[in-house]
């Protein structure tokens, strides 16, 4: 892919992730910490189509800009911790196991580690590891939402590959 085309695609992915992130932030949550995480599908697509650096860049820019436009410092800390940890896991799984793991499976693993990262921040803020009692509930949510996000990322990837 030519340099200009890559840059345009990367810019579009960041913009898409930011818009999705901002819209999703307006949806009330049923339980604390449980969201669909639709913007994570864009980071996963960036990983598959462009590479690990671009996937991290999409997540970092989306998190920074999303926090500036519609969040708070605490929202930024939760998002960046979960995002970095989940992206590292997805990058490693995709790099070493892309031929044996499906995109939804990689996404589920990313979702699980996103919640682990967010609980790390929560444990640090409240200075209590008992927050991890909430982990089983979040893990169930991670499996459901991660699978959905993986299917969404698969569809988006196949559509984008047709126009690239």
pLDDT tens digits for range 97-131: 999 999 999 999 999 999 999 999 999 999 988 88
Q: Is residue 73 over pLDDT 90?
A: no
Any idea which architecture 3-163 has in CATH?
Orthogonal Bundle (1.10)
Q: Whole-prediction pTM value?
A: 0.92
Domain definitions of the chain by residue range: 3-163
What is the three-state SS of the chain? CCHHHHHHHHHHHHHHHHHHHHHHHCCCCCCCCCCCCCHHHHHHHHHHHCCHHHHHHHHHHHHHHHHHHHCCHHHHHHHHHHHHHHHHHHHHHHHHHCCCCCHHHHHHHHHHHHHHHHHHHHHHHHCCHHHHHHHHHHHHHHHHHHHHHHHHHHHHHHHHHHHC
Residue 163, pLDDT score: 86
């Amino acid at each position: 892919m030519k340099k200009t085309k890559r840059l345009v695609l990367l810019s579009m992915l960041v913009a898409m992730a930011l818009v999705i992130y901002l819209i999703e932030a307006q949806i009330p949550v049923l339980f604390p910490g449980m969201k669909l995480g639709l913007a994570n599908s864009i980071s996963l697509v960036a990983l598959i189509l462009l590479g690990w650096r671009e996937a991290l860049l999409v997540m970092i820019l989306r998190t920074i800009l999303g926090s500036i436009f519609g969040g708070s410092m605490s929202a930024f800390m939760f998002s960046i911790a979960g995002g970095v940890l989940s992206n590292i896991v997805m990058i490693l799984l995709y790099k070493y196991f892309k031929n044996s793991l499906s995109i939804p499976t990689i996404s589920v693993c990313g979702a699980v580690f996103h919640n682990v990262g967010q609980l790390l921040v929560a444990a640090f803020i409240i200075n209590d590891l008992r927050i991890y009692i909430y982990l089983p509930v979040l893990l169930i949510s991670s499996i459901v939402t991660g699978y959905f996000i993986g299917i969404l990322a698969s569809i988006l990837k196949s559509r984008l590959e047709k126009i690239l």
